[in-house]
Amino acid sequence: MKIAIDGTAASGKGTLAKGLAKKLGYDYLDTGLLYRRLALDIYKKGLTKFNLINERGIISNANINMLADITLNLTLPLSDHPDLRKQEISHLSAVIASIPEIREILFKKQRMFANKPPSKAGVILDGRDIGSVILPEAKIKFFIDAKPEIRAKRRYAELKGLSAEVQEETILDDLIKRDKADRTRHVAPLKQVPDAFFIDSSALNADEVLQIALNYING
Ligand code: CDP
């Protein structure tokens, strides 16, 4: 079975996906990590959000080709690392996520993983376009959201350990900007598909969200 989880930034998608994967014995792919990995790789080469895009808002063919080469070499699933969660990497990942050529390569890799999960039991993918583009055939789809202030608080608690400079207001600002960019981009925008089950996690803890999701799956 395939489970698709989409939602806004820091809404609790990953926590739900991990909880379900553990409970059901399924494989889990955090697709945000793919974009974050690419962002970290080019950040290490000296590129930032500001010099990846030119004055006209365009990414050069040379940069797209360089990114495509790195993308082709990715093997899934990727391992997590605290550096992937830093704010400059979040910014850059959302810029990379708007490049159709890169999404096309990642589309194939994500589908291959979902069709042949190592456990052979089932697979859970979380991201922005899982229910709409990557796994439109998934029988179970969730869309997770929460009030921006609550999401910022949760993300702040996660990031505090990683960087001394992190501030809740800049996190809130980042989440709002990233949601807007993700919802309005031309390719695979963030959206709730009609067959997704919506969960507002604003007033719920991780166990409560997991229980609601399990009830829906078993119901
Ligand atoms: O953890 P958080 O919700 O903040 O973000 P993430 O899931 O790690 O994704 C980072 C960025 O990658 C998002 O803001 C999107 O721009 C992009 N992304 C995407 O476009 N499509 C996906 N399936 C997953 C992530």
Asked if residue 162 has pLDDT above 80, the reply is no
Q: What is the pLDDT of residue 185?
A: 95
Asked if residue 109 has pLDDT above 80, the reply is yes
Distance CA 52, CA 196 (A): 34
Distance from the alpha carbon of residue 94 to the mean position of ligand 1, in angstroms: 7
Could you tell which of 11, 35, 67, 170 is best to mutate to test the pocket of ligand 1, judged by most ligand atoms within 8 Å of the CB?
35
Asked if residue 114 has pLDDT above 90, the reply is yes
Are residues 66 and 42 in contact, defined by beta-carbon separation less than 8 angstroms? yes
Q: What is the pLDDT of residue 111?
A: 98
Nearest CA residue ID for atom 25, ligand 1: 32
Asked if residue 120 has pLDDT above 90, the reply is no
Is 114 near ligand 1, meaning CB less than 6 Å away? no
Q: What is the pLDDT of residue 209?
A: 98
The least confident of 46-60, 109-123, 128-142 is: 46-60
Q: For 11-64, write each residue's pLDDT tens digit.
A: 999 999 999 999 999 999 999 999 999 999 999 999 887 888 887 778 889 999
Q: What is the pLDDT of residue 19?
A: 98
Q: What is the pLDDT of residue 49?
A: 79
Asked if residue 215 has pLDDT above 90, the reply is yes
CA quadruple 14, 18, 19, 24: dihedral sign: positive
Confidence band, pLDDT 50/70/90 cuts, at residue 161: confident
Nearest CA residue ID for atom 10, ligand 1: 32
Closest Cα partner for 33 from 85, 99, 69?
85
CATH code of 2-218, in short, is 3.40.50.300
Report the alpha-carbon angle 54-59-63, nearest 5.
115
Q: For 140-154, write each residue's pLDDT tens digit.
A: 999 999 999 999 999
Question: Helices 100-115 & 32-44, crossing angle to 10 degrees?
Answer: 130
Confidence band, pLDDT 50/70/90 cuts, at residue 163: confident
Report the alpha-carbon angle 40-129-59, nearest 5.
45
Q: What is the pLDDT of residue 200?
A: 98
Distance CA 198, CA 213 (A): 10
Q: What is the pLDDT of residue 148?
A: 98
pLDDT > 90 fraction of the chain, expressed in percent and rounded: 86
Are residues 142 and 6 in contact, defined by beta-carbon separation less than 8 angstroms? yes
Distance from the alpha carbon of residue 214 to the mean position of ligand 1, in angstroms: 24
The rounded mean pLDDT for the chain is: 95
Confidence band, pLDDT 50/70/90 cuts, at residue 202: very high
Taking residues 161-190, what's their average pLDDT? 92
